[in-house]
């Protein structure tokens, strides 16, 4: 299964991420969407779209959400993927930023990986289980080096992470297990 993980679009999605999303089996958006046009642009051609609410995802901020069935986005969700559970939340309710990963791991100990956003800083922390993944910002606001996302290839045995920034595979961290 090929999953595209993204977050913090704030009303705009980089075109290369839209392209990756359309061909995915599942797209996971970890919040701060910014409107229905974003969701329409990242819905896979033949797959699922899973979205959680960020601190900026409120009906008064994007009133077109009700028309697409996204008026009530969950704060967090856990989904089964081949080989384990993926926990997703935006991360804005974890106030202690110095201990984000520790707190997320304590909150979702049964997950194989946790996806969060909010910080706009792409990060793959595969040093211990569960992995903690932040795809960075997929839009144009505070991208900290360019729009980014993560692609997770998952099967029953192995999970492989590829990081994308500015439309290219990032030479930074990659994880496989």
pLDDT tens for each residue of 5-42: 999 999 999 999 999 999 999 999 999 998 889 999 99
**Helix, strand or coil, per DSSP, at residue 36:** helix
Half-sphere exposure in the Cβ direction for 56 (13 Å, CA): 14
Task: Report whether pLDDT(124) > 80.
Answer: yes
- Unique residue bearing structure tokens 């980089």: 14
Alpha-carbon gap, residue 140 to 114, rounded angstroms? 24
Q: What is the CATH number of domain 2-169?
A: 3.60.21.10
pLDDT of residue 103: 93
pLDDT above 50 (res 141)? yes
Tokens for 174, please give them: 């990659």
């Amino acid at each position: 299964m090929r999953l595209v993980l993204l977050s913090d679009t704030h009303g705009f999605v980089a075109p290369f991420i839209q392209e990756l999303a359309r061909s995915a089996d599942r797209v996971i958006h970890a919040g701060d969407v910014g409107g229905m046009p974003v969701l329409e642009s990242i819905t896979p051609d033949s797959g699922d779209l899973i979205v959680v609410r960020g601190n900026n995802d409120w009906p008064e901020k994007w009133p077109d959400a009700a028309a697409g069935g996204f008026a009530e986005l969950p704060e967090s969700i856990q989904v089964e993927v081949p080989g384990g559970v993926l926990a997703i939340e935006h991360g804005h309710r974890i106030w202690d930023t110095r201990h984000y990963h520790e707190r997320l791991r304590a909150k979702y100990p049964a997950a194989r990986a946790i996806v969060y956003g909010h910080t706009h800083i792409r990060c793959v922390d595969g040093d211990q289980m569960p992995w903690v993944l932040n795809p960075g910002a997929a839009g144009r606001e505070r991208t900290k080096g360019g729009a980014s996302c993560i692609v997770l290839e998952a099967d029953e045995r192995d999970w492989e992470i590829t990081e994308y920034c500015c439309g290219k595979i990032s030479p930074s961290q990659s994880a496989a297990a």
